[in-house]
Amino acid sequence: MSDKTRHALELCAQTAAAAYDALQAVDEPASSKDAEILRKDFLSILTLLYAAATKIALSLKPPNPDYQASLRPITDMGGASVALSACASQFTTHQHGPAMRRKVRSLAGNVLHAARHLCSSLASDSGDIYVLTGAVHDSVDRARELPESELATIRAIFRTNQACLDDGLPELKELIEGSEDPDDGWNDLEDELGDDLTSKTLSVEERARVSTLFPLIKITTQLHKKILSDCLAVSLEPPLPLPRLAALEPLSTQLLTHFEDAVSSLYGPQNPTAINDSMTVLLATAADMRRQLQPATDSSSTDVSDQLQNLNISDVAPALPEKTSKWLQLCFAQIDQLSSKCLPVT
């Protein structure tokens, strides 16, 4: 490799590394462009960076590399790296939303890391040029999937978490029904690893606990699904404001985490204390969602029929349609009623 090309690669690697560091440490600008404009700029820069990586690979591919031809795309990649970092830094929490800001910074960071690795590896004559270029291409392709808005970003998070919630409910049904696969391999694991790492068949009492808690756990997954389908609907006018969206986003992941903990606690041998603890934090997350979707209301009555008679849509967040608001009030009333009947387990 010519000294000029090696120096250009080293400089590009340093530029990409500096752009990555700047992206991590940057302060938010006081104001910025609309998300639509910034996203368009972001995608355009990604196209330039993708093309530069391709041209670098073509010019330096063995057995006959053209070092002179590689200089221009190497320079282009360095310039695109700086531009990508600058563009991603323009997304702000107050104007575009915290979830979208984190997402664009993460995607841009992955691209910059791949670009730096490509140039530094080629400069040191290490690594497969096709693998290194493919890593840049893959990171760019993922970055091109940047959602269009904070709402779209949070909807994607809710969709992913909802799929996991939907997968977890059949596990509880299997525990209730006591269904077992004789060829699931647990017997072999028990022989090799001992009894502690294998699944336990539930006793009648343990299965009864699962059956009692199943409706309460299920309704939390239905709440999450309703928020996704109605409260985060693209067609909702006016949409939920950024602060409310920002508050709901971490609650989705928290709900999934606590749901999984609750399901795990119901496998044998059960520990009632662990079950109660996991259910407490799961319901606390549902209560946090309630505070984001409804104002403080008098919930002294846990009777569903009483609460239905006292429904007052003016007490609910005005952005939500009446049908959705009533559904949420009924849902939270059922959660209150079921939790008072089911918990604590003994």
Structure tokens at 114: 């791949």
Mean of all residue pLDDT scores within the chain? 89
Q: How far apart are the first and last CA of the chain?
A: 73
Q: Is there a contact between 185 and 216 (Cβ–Cβ < 8 Å)?
A: no
The reported pLDDT for the residue numbered 312 is 45
135-163 average pLDDT score: 97
The reported pLDDT for the residue numbered 29 is 80
**Bridge-partner residues for 187, per DSSP?**
none
Give per-residue pLDDT as tens, 82-91: 999 999 999 9
The reported pLDDT for the residue numbered 326 is 94
164-178 average pLDDT score: 92
The reported pLDDT for the residue numbered 316 is 42
The reported pLDDT for the residue numbered 166 is 96
Give per-residue pLDDT as tens, 235-271: 988 888 888 999 999 999 999 999 999 999 999 899 9
The reported pLDDT for the residue numbered 199 is 52
Instruction: Tell me which H or E stretch contains 131.
Output: helix 129-143
Q: What angle do CA 294, 295, 297 make, to 5 degrees?
A: 105
Q: Where are the beta strands (DSSP E) in 11-79?
A: none
The reported pLDDT for the residue numbered 201 is 83
Of 143, 109, 164, 129, which is closest to residue 56 (Cα–Cα)? 129
Give per-residue pLDDT as tens, 310-338: 544 334 454 688 999 999 999 999 999 99
Sign of CA dihedral 163, 164, 165, 168: positive
The reported pLDDT for the residue numbered 32 is 79
Ranking 25-29, 96-100, 127-131 by mean pLDDT, the lowest is 25-29
Instruction: Please provide residue 313's backbone torsions phi and psi, each rounded to the nearest 5 degrees.
Output: -65, -25
Give per-residue pLDDT as tens, 203-237: 999 999 999 999 999 999 999 999 999 999 999 88
The type of residue at 317 is: A
The reported pLDDT for the residue numbered 320 is 86
Query: Is 70 exceeded by the pLDDT of residue 129?
Result: yes
Give per-residue pLDDT as tens, 13-63: 999 999 999 998 777 887 779 999 999 999 999 999 999 999 999 999 999
Give per-residue pLDDT as tens, 146-157: 999 999 999 999
* Domains within the chain, CATH numbers bracketed: 3-143 (1.20.1420.10), 150-342 (1.20.1410.10)
